[in-house]
């Protein structure tokens, strides 16, 4: 079928999908954010029945099955959100569903499927990718004569997703200048762009893909859907190796431009969403906002649209998101700085830094008797970072930016144990205020050499650090608790912390 006929059929089916969808779920809000002169409108699909838009397509497709088909049951493959939609539809329609999901599917999404479908749903984890799960699901459907519910490459499924665009139009907050639509398999983008173009002919549609998973851009370049060799799964909801035939044909006609966003930029968009809307999207759900933030200078005085398409994020992933967010917002910068390996050198370095800089990460382990190369993370804007580098240069320090280095990102802190003389490792809680660390080192530096430092800002009022000190002899080591008492004003003096210090000094 030609792309023109596909779009015509899709538009007709979106109209028919309205009654089915609105009988089950309420409309989701269209919130706005003012970013300077730019107004961002965010379609809040995180507030839908499964906290993602995918239920719309699954329900619209399954609601059209005959009683005979429902009696046989359905089967599908999904990385998470489509599975929840199928489970919800199965429970509402009284049918059974067998759902194949990759072994790497976030635990939270697995649990949500069972929650929405109960005993009517059977979840099978298979393979490392969506494609492996999809192949197994299609084979299952053929063998047992079940109906296969595609996650995106189906007019019925796309029509259901298109009802969110219908709600945007009915909100009467348009027209919009630009819409940024995330793309995985292409169902959301194809349906939403089709409906938006129908109602706002002058709107510019940007398809947004994640770096390392841009399968639609690859299809556009090749002239047909092609498989990617590797797929990055940080944005797991859009991690599709090959887009659909139907979605490709429609997106080719309705998407005006393609762009990619990095995982760090997506993480920054998640933080932005939390700060502006008090919601935490899953990575795929924040891709549209990430693209807007990337283009913010070009979007002045524009009315911009994005779909927050899901918020089913594993709690464990938040730690990674928080670390990446500051880098993605170009706010956190890391420097590896060369100093002498001697007592007092670290204190001197810290005192040479401008007062405006805020240290949020400290990674250091002794690996050489003469030279030390601590890695320090700073929370700074562009001007502050420039002033920081200038201050280091003026103080004769050599530094190198290592913000994107793998060992820094994984916090790989090496130290050479055989070089440490009479070491003692202690854990302390510093007050999170400017100068506290420098005050502490000022008090202890004359008595010990810092040989290990592991600290990362956690957002609390105190910062926890693991520190290692070395001493010229055992007598100096045993006197160190008294030295710590002299610096008590700069760190937390809880009993458990003091006990820990005493236990670790041998």
Per residue in 222-255, pLDDT (tens digit) is: 999 999 999 998 998 999 999 999 999 999 999 9
Per DSSP, 297 falls in state G
- Walk me through the domains of the chain, giving residue ranges and CATH numbers: 3-52+155-326 (3.40.50.1100), 55-148 (3.40.50.1100), 331-504 (3.40.1020.10)
Q: What per-residue confidence (pLDDT) applies to 262? A: 95
Burial of 451 (0-12, 13-18, 19+ CB in 10 A): buried
- Please compute the mean of the pLDDT values over residues 46-56 and round it to a whole number: 96
- Which among 403, 384, 381 has a CA at the least distance from the CA of 392? 384
Angstrom distance (rounded) from CA 208 to CA 258: 6
Q: 487 vs 474, which has greater pLDDT?
A: 474
Q: What per-residue confidence (pLDDT) applies to 501? A: 46
Angstrom distance (rounded) from CA 10 to CA 246: 10
pLDDT tens digits for 187-223?
999 999 999 999 999 999 999 999 999 999 999 999 9
Categorize the per-residue pLDDT at 492 as very low, low, confident or very high, splitting at 50, 70 and 90.
Answer: low
- Please compute the mean of the pLDDT values over residues 263-289 and round it to a whole number: 96
Angstrom distance (rounded) from CA 205 to CA 149: 27
Q: What per-residue confidence (pLDDT) applies to 105? A: 84
Tell whether the model's pLDDT for residue 502 goes beyond 50.
no
Q: What per-residue confidence (pLDDT) applies to 497? A: 42
pTM, 2 dp:
0.82
Summary count for the chain: helices (H), strands (E)? 20, 18
- Give the CA diameter of the chain: 87
Q: Which of 35-49, 96-110, 256-270, 392-406 has the lowest mean pLDDT?
A: 96-110
Per DSSP, 353 falls in state S
pLDDT tens digits for 149-159?
999 999 999 99
Reduce the DSSP state of residue 464 to 3 states and report it: strand
Tell whether the model's pLDDT for residue 339 goes beyond 70.
yes
Radius of gyration of the chain (CA): 28
């Amino acid at each position: 079928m030609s792309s023109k006929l596909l779009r015509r059929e899709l538009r007709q089916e979106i109209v028919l999908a309205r009654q089915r969808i609105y009988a089950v779920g309420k409309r989701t809000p269209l919130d706005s954010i003012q970013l300077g002169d730019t107004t961002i409108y965010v379609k809040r699909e995180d507030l839908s029945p499964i906290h993602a838009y995918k239920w719309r397509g699954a329900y619209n497709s399954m609601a059209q099955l005959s009683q005979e088909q429902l009696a046989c049951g359905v089967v599908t493959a999904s990385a998470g959100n489509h599975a929840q939609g199928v489970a919800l539809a199965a429970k509402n329609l009284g049918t059974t569903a067998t759902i194949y999901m990759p072994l790497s599917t976030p635990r939270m999404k697995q649990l949500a499927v069972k929650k929405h479908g109960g005993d009517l749903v059977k979840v099978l984890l298979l393979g490392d990718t969506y494609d492996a799960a999809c192949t197994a699901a299609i084979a299952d459907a053929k063998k047992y004569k079940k109906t296969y519910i595609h996650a995106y490459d189906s007019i019925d499924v796309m029509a259901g997703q298109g009802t969110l665009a219908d709600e945007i139009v009915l909100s009467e907050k348009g027209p919009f200048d630009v819409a940024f639509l995330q793309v995985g398999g292409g169902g959301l983008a194809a349906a939403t762009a089709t409906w938006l173009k129908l109602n706002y002919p002058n709107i510019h549609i940007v398809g947004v893909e994640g770096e390392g998973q841009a399968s639609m851009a690859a299809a556009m370049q090749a002239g047909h859907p092609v498989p990617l060799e590797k797929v990055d799964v940080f944005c797991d909801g859009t991690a599709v190796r090959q887009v659909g035939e139907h979605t490709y044909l429609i997106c080719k006609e309705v998407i005006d431009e393609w762009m990619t966003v990095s995982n760090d930029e997506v993480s920054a968009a998640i933080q932005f969403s939390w700060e502006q809307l008090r919601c935490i999207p899953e990575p795929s759900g924040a891709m549209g906002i990430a693209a807007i933030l990337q283009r913010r200078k070009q979007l002045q005085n524009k009315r911009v649209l994005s779909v927050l398409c899901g918020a089913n994020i594993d709690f464990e992933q938040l730690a990674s998101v928080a670390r990446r967010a500051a880098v993605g917002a170009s706010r956190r910068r890391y420097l590896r700085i060369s100093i002498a390996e001697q007592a007092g050198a670290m204190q001197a370095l810290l005192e040479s830094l401008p007062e405006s800089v805020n240290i949020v990460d400290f990674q250091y382990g002794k690996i050489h008797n003469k030279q030390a190369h601590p890695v320090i993370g700073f929370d700074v804007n562009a001007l502050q970072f420039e002033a920081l580098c200038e201050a280091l240069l003026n103080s004769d320090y050599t530094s190198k930016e290592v913000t994107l280095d793998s060992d820094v990102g994984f916090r790989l802190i090496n130290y050479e144990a055989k070089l440490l003389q009479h070491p003692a490792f202690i854990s302390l809680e510093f007050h999170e205020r400017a100068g506290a660390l420098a005050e502490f080192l000022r008090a202890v530096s004359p008595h010990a050499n810092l040989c290990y430092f592991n600290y990362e800002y956690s957002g609390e009022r105190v910062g926890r650090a693991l520190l290692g000190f070395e001493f010229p002899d055992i007598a100096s080591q045993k006197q160190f608790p008294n030295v710590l008492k002299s610096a008590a004003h700069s760190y937390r003096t809880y009993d458990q912390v003091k006990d820990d210090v005493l236990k670790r000094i041998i």
